[in-house]
Amino acid sequence: MDNFFLQDEHQANPGMYLHENTKNFRHGSQFYSDAELTTQDAVAWIYDIYTDERILDEVALPAVTQAEVPGMNCLDTFLTRRSTRKYADKPLDITELSHFLKLAYPIDSSEKASTPGALPHQTLSQWNGHVTCCRLVLLIKNVTGVAPGAYLYDEFSHSLKLIRAESRHNIDDFLKQYCFQAEFIESPVLLLQVGSIKASTERYGERGYRYMLLEDGVQIQRMYLSGASLGLACCATGSLVQGKVESWLGLDGFNGSVLNGFVIGHYCPAPEASHDHA
Ligand SMILES: Cc1cc2nc3c(=O)[nH]c(=O)nc-3n(C[C@H](O)[C@H](O)[C@H](O)COP(=O)(O)O)c2cc1C
């Protein structure tokens, strides 16, 4: 190969080969079908993994429209958004979680008629911003009104589908081993972003790997802004042993793969100003 990075003096690694082979190139594999793809079709892959038999329970989140969610204006949201690594050991209310998730998806997410372009990478038509290459699986530890466990978020019905019931204690023990940022342990919810290498590459060809990660980034940004506008503390984190988390969630790493984590919760109250005078 004549690529700069793959010349002998530079150490080629698997990531570099992946990078090279997911670029646009003539005769590279393409989208497998010209059929119109609905949003529901585009996310069907997660329901092939978490079939009805694997859904243990369903929790309806308090109904709300985006317009009804109280939040900061755009400017304050942008000025406030930051990563937080210290969390109060305080429950998140189910309403706060409902508001956060509602803002984390486009406004038309729950409309059945919403149809994103089938070939967004090949047209100039508007993408509705609906992330379909990544899904959210929430590790709920401390949310008022929701039992601890792992839940898939369904934005169409605005509900949480229980895929693994587990005590907070057991989730914390698991995270202590396989999430190596202890500062996140106090947070009430860790959202895992799950992608599908199979679905993304079937849909877009080899480049689907890149699109999956791009959509992951879109979703992270949406969550940071949603959390900031609601006054919640947030932080993206890649500090997970992905393979272990995948096994824990019953994912095989190909049909479903853990991409990263995102923590939300309450800020720790600022320490009171000291009145000591030296
Ligand atoms: C994809 C992604 C992964 C991240 N992973 C981590 C992480 O593993 N641990 C962490 O403490 N922060 C992580 N962050 C947060 C960044 O460190 C943070 O966004 C950056 O320092 C800028 O700070 P700010 O978000 O407060 O503006 C991640 C951010 C992104 C976008």
Question: Over its length of 278 residues, how does the chain's per-residue pLDDT go in tens digits?
Answer: 566 666 666 667 888 888 888 888 887 776 655 566 777 888 999 999 999 999 999 999 999 998 899 989 999 999 999 999 999 999 999 999 999 999 999 887 766 666 666 566 666 766 777 888 999 999 999 999 999 999 999 998 999 999 999 999 999 999 999 998 888 989 999 999 999 999 998 888 888 999 999 999 999 999 999 999 999 999 999 999 999 999 999 999 999 999 999 999 999 987 666 555 44
253: domain CATH number is 3.40.109.10
Q: Is there a contact between 151 and 59 (Cβ–Cβ < 8 Å)?
A: yes
Within 10 angstroms of residue 238's Cβ, the number of other Cβ atoms is 9
- 177 assigned to some structural domain: yes
In the 8-state DSSP scheme, what is residue 86? -
Q: 277 in a domain, yes or no?
A: no
Question: Which 8-state DSSP code applies to residue 179?
Answer: B
Going by CA atoms, what residue is nearest to atom 27 of ligand 1?
82
Evaluate whether residue 23 is within a structural domain.
Answer: no
Contact 36, 118 (CB under 8 A): yes
| Cα of 168 from ligand 1 centre, angstroms | 25
Distance 224 CA to ligand 1 centre (A): 10
Give the ligand 1 atom nearest the CA of 220.
Answer: 31
Domain-located, residue 61: yes
Distance, CA 87 to ligand 1 centroid (Å)? 15
pLDDT at residue 278, as a whole number: 41
| Atom 2 (ligand 1) nearest CA | 236
Domain annotation covers residue 190: yes
Domain count for the chain = 1
User: Residue of the nearest CA to atom 15 in ligand 1?
Assistant: 236
Q: What pLDDT is attached to residue 209?
A: 93
**Whole-number Å distance between alpha carbons of 58 and 195:** 22
Cα of 193 from ligand 1 centre, angstroms: 15
Cβ < 6 A, ligand 1 pocket: 82-83, 85, 181, 220, 235-239, 260
Record the pTM: 0.91
Residue 11, domain member (yes or no): no
Ligand 1: residue whose CA is nearest its atom 31 = 236
In a domain, 21, yes or no: no
Task: Report the SS3 class of residue 81.
Answer: coil
Q: Which atom of ligand 1 is nearest to the CA of 217?
A: 1
Question: Which residue, 204, 267, 257, 250, is CA-closest to 50?
Answer: 250
Encode burial over 158-175: b for 16+ CB neighbours within 10 A, e otherwise.
Answer: bbbbbbbebeeeebbeeb
Q: How far apart are the CA of 119 and the centre of ligand 1, in A?
A: 31
Examine residue 192 and state whether it is found in any structural domain, yes or no. Answer: yes
Q: Which of 212, 235, 240 to mutate to test the pocket of ligand 1 (most atoms within 8 A of CB)?
A: 235
Q: Classify residue 34 by burial, with Cβ atoms within 10 Å: 0-12, 13-18, 19+.
A: exposed
Nearest CA residue ID for atom 1, ligand 1? 236
d(CA 217, CA 212): 9
Residue 115's domain comprises 36-265
Q: Please give the number of the atom of ligand 1 that sits closest to the Cα of 183.
A: 11
